[in-house]
Structure 1
Amino acid sequence: MSDSSPVFLIDDDKDLLKATKQTLELAGFAVSAFSAAGEALAALTPSFAGVIVSDIRMPQMDGQQLFAHIKALDADLPVILVTGHGDIPMAVQAIQDGAYDFIAKPFATDRLVQSVRRGAEKRRLVLENRSLRLSAEQAQGDLPLIGQTPAIERLRHTLRQIADTDVDVLVTGETGSGKEVVASLLHRWSRRAKGNFVALNCGALPETVIESELFGHEPGAFTGAQKKRVGRIEHASAGTLFLDEIESMPPAIQVQMLRVLEMREVTPLGTNEIRPVDLRVVAAAKVDLGNPAQRKDFREDLYYRLNVVTLSIPPLRERRDDIPLLFGYFAERAASRFKRDVPDISTAARRHLQQHDWPGNVRELSHFAERFVLGLESAAMPQTADAPSSDASLPLPVRVERYEADVIRKTLSQNNGDVRRTIEALGIPRKTFYDKLQRHGIVRGEFAGFDGDDRKSS
Structure 2
Amino acid sequence: MTDGSTITPVLVVDDDPSMRAALRQWMGLAGFHPIETETANEAISRITPDFPGCVVSDVMLQGEDGLKLMQRIGVVDSEIPVILITGHGDVPMAVDAMRLGAYDFVEKPFDPDRIAEVVQRAIEKRQLVLENRALQKSLKDSSTLESRLLGNSPVMKTLRERLLHFAKTDAAVLITGETGTGKEVIAQALHAFSKRKDKPFVAVNAAALAESMVEAELFGHEAGAFTGADRTRAGRIEQADGGVFFLDEIVSMPISLQPKLLRVLQEKEVDRIGGRRPVPVDIRLVSAANEDPRKAVTDQRLREDLLFRLNTIEIIVPPLRERGNDVQLLFDTFLNRFSAQYEMERPLLSGQDEAFLRTYEWPGNVRELRNAAERFVLNAGVGGQPLATLVAGRGGEPQGAGDGTLRELMDAYEKTVIDNALKRHQGRINLVMEELGLPRRTLNEKMARHGLSRSQAGVEETVD
Higher RCO (CA-CA < 8 Å; seq separation 6+): 1
Deviation at 1:174, TM superposition (A): 0.4
Aligned to 1:347: 351
Give, in angstroms, the shift of residue 404 of structure 1.
3.9
User: Given the alignment, which residue of 198, 210, 214 partners 1:210?
Assistant: 214
Give the direction of change, closer, same or farther, for the CA distance of 1:135–1:402 in structure 2 (3 Å limit): closer
In the TM superposition, residue 348 of structure 1 has moved relative to its aligned partner by 3.0
1: CA distance, partners of 2:196 / 2:139: 18
- TM-score using structure 1 length: 0.57
Please give the secondary structure, in 1, of the residue aligned with 2:262.
helix
Answering whether residue 142 of structure 2 is matched by residue 137 of structure 1, we say: yes
Structure 2: which amino acid aligns with 1:381? V
Do 1:199 and 1:244's aligned partners in 2 also have CA atoms closer than 8 Å?
Answer: yes
Q: 2:162 aligns with which of 146, 158, 171?
A: 158
* Residue of structure 1 in register with 2:313 after alignment: 309
Is the counterpart of residue 181 in structure 1 residue 191 in structure 2? no
Aligned to 2:224: 220
The residue type equivalent to 2:270 in the other structure is V
Task: Name the CA distance, whole Å, in 2 between partners of 1:156 and 1:385.
Answer: 41
Percent identity for Structure 1 against Structure 2: 41
* C-alpha deviation, 1:415, in angstroms: 3.6
The question of whether the paired residues in 1 share the 8 Å contact of 2:244 and 2:285 is answered with yes
Q: Structure 1 residue aligned with 2:249, among 245, 249, 258? A: 245
For 2:298 and 2:148, locate their aligned partners in 1 and report how far apart those are by CA, in whole Å: 27
Partner of 1:171: 175
**Gaps (5+ residues) in structure 2?**
1-136, 406-413, 438-452, 459-464
Cα 1:325/1:406, change in 2 over 3 Å = farther
The answer to whether residue 273 in structure 2 is matched with residue 269 in structure 1 is: yes
CA-based RMSD of the aligned residues comes to 3.9
- SS at structure 1 position matched to 2:224: coil
The alignment status of 1:363 with 2:375, answered yes or no, reads no
Q: Match of 1:301, SS?
A: helix
**SS at 2:246 equivalent:** strand
Query: CA separation in 2, counterparts of 1:409 and 1:168?
Result: 38
Question: 1:180 is aligned with what amino acid?
Answer: E
How do 1:11-410 and structure 2 match up within 5 A? Answer: 136-139=141-144, 142-143=146-147, 145-291=149-295, 296-375=300-379, 377-378=385-386, 379-382=389-392, 389=403, 404-405=419-420
Q: Deviations over 1:239-264 (max 9, x none)?
A: 00000000111011111001011111
Quick one: distance in 1 between partners of 2:225 and 2:357?
53
Mark the CA change 1:288 to 1:403 in structure 2 (over 3 Å): closer, same or farther.
closer
Whether the 8 Å contact between 2:142 and 2:148 is mirrored in structure 1 is: no
Please tell me the residue identity of whatever aligns with 1:340.
Answer: M
* 1:158-194, Cα deviation, whole Å (9 max, x unpaired): 1111112111101000001010001000000011011
TM-score (norm 2): 0.56
Structure with max Cα Rg: 1
TM-superposed deviation, 1:289: 1.4
Whole-Å separation in 2 of the counterparts to 1:215 and 1:329: 40
Q: CA deviation at 1:385?
A: 8.9
- Partners of 1:409 and 1:371 in 2: CA distance: 20
The answer (yes or no) to whether the contact 1:364–1:413 under 8 Å persists in 2 is no
